[in-house]
Amino acid sequence: MISRRSLWAATGGLALPMPAWAQATGAQPAAYPTRPITLLMGFAPGGGTDIISRLLQPALQEDFGQPVAIESRPGGSGTIAAAANARGRPDGYQMLMTTVSASAVVPPTMKPPPFDIINDQTAVVLAGTVPLVAVVPLDSPAQDFPGFIAHARANRGKLNYSSSGVATQQHLAAAALSFAAGLDMTHIPFRGTGQAVNEILAGRIDIAIDTLPTYLPHIRAGRVRALATTLPARVPTLPDVPTIAESGFPDFDAAVWYMVMGPPGLPSAISERWVRAVNKALADPGLRQRVMDAGYLPGGGTSADAAALLRRDAAKYAEVIRRANITFD
């Protein structure tokens, strides 16, 4: 198994898988695409889903020879867009850029679930993975992560934290930290991380544990203070920022993945066409570097890899949700 540390260190190109139909015929899939494609996303613009979609958009349009329109349908912690994907026609003209929360974690917490996370969607290809970063407003008294823990313990019930929705990775990461550190903070969910950014810049949110690409420009510009990141090892884009694991919580490990998802019944030829396009895009040195500079681990791989990741994390986070007793009201 490749470790996250080695993934961060990797800068070379990806080996591009050749679809079975290409090996057999040497041709592209017949008549796809012949018209514009819509790529849904389940959060407001400005967050990690939006950023990775727009990084890939020009390369996908060039490869497909058709416009790829990114359409935001925020709400339900990303499940409104994911449910629209589950009801979509399996023709490849409406696809979804989804997250681990929207497609693997949140739906089972809803009553009734809006779709079956295994049978009502087709995992196509991993776009990227990101760590989370804990940030506070510049006027926060916390100058480092231990300082924030001390501040929160001294102000039990008075501080808040943001997320892009109930049961998202941001929510789970902050809830896990609160439990581990014995904190008592109020959860403030938004319809996307872009909205939460404005609130923390204004000083109305005490802490956010959110996707690195969302906050990296604000960290670099000195508009927020980064306290810690969430993977076991430090990330190259913020080498001076310690991890939560090395700041007193050695087992802490959290990340978010982004995946191209299709409707149920998506033909394998169309799925493989997307696999080829995304792998080709992420193998381009220039784009690959921009993706890494934005704070992502570049994705890629096969549809089988994507499906295995979906199943693994669905099982993993079902247990986390159960233990934390988180429900989507």
Does the pLDDT value for residue 8 go beyond 80?
no
Element containing residue 57 per DSSP (H, E): helix 48-64
pTM: 0.79
SS3 229: strand
Of the candidate ranges 33-37, 161-165, 325-329, the one whose mean pLDDT is the lowest = 325-329
* Residue 86 φ/ψ region, left for φ over 0, alpha for ψ in the -120 to 50 degree band, beta for the rest: alpha
Question: Per DSSP, which regions of the chain are E strands?
Answer: 37-41, 68-72, 94-99, 122-137, 159-163, 185-189, 207-211, 224-229, 255-262, 297-300
Convert the pLDDT of each residue in 123-138 to its tens digit: 999 999 999 999 999 9
- Report the b/e string of 107-146 with b at 16+ CB within 10 A: bbbbeeebbebeebbbbbbbbbbbbbbbbbbeebebeebe
With cut-offs at 50, 70 and 90, classify the pLDDT of residue 241.
Answer: very high
Q: Which residues contact 2 (CB under 8 A, 6 or more apart)?
A: none
Q: Domain extents for the chain?
A: 4-129+257-324, 131-247
Range 131-247 has CATH code 3.40.50.2300: no
CA distance 117 to 314: 8
- List the one residue out of 242, 246, 201 whose CA is nearest residue 219: 201
Could you tell me if 83 and 121 are in contact, meaning their C-beta atoms sit under 8 angstroms apart? no
Residue 329: the pLDDT is: 63
Which amino acid belongs to residue 70?
I
Structure tokens at 49: 């889903």
Mean per-residue pLDDT, 221-235: 96
DSSP letters spanning 137-163? ETT-S-SSHHHHHHHHHHTTTTEEEEE
Residue 318: the pLDDT is: 80
Q: Environment class of residue 201 by beta-carbon count within 10 Å: exposed (0-12), middle (13-18) or buried (19+)?
A: middle
Residue 227: count of CB within 10 angstroms of its CB: 24
Mean per-residue pLDDT, 92-96: 98
Convert the pLDDT of each residue in 39-88 to its tens digit: 999 998 988 999 999 999 999 999 999 999 999 999 998 999 999 999 99
In sign, the C-alpha dihedral spanning 136, 229, 189, 327 is negative
CA distance 79 to 82: 5
Could you give the percent of the chain with pLDDT greater than 90?
73
Residue 205: the pLDDT is: 97
CA distance 258 to 268: 20
Residue 319: the pLDDT is: 75
- List the one residue out of 211, 204, 232, 178 whose CA is nearest residue 295: 211
Intrachain domains 4-129+257-324 and 131-247 with the same fold: yes
- List the one residue out of 320, 254, 311, 257 whose CA is nearest residue 100: 257
Could you tell me if 265 and 121 are in contact, meaning their C-beta atoms sit under 8 angstroms apart? no
Return the higher-pLDDT residue of 317 and 304.
Answer: 304
Residue 321: the pLDDT is: 78
CA 322 to chain centre: 21
Structure tokens at 47: 């967050």
Class of domain 4-129+257-324: alpha beta
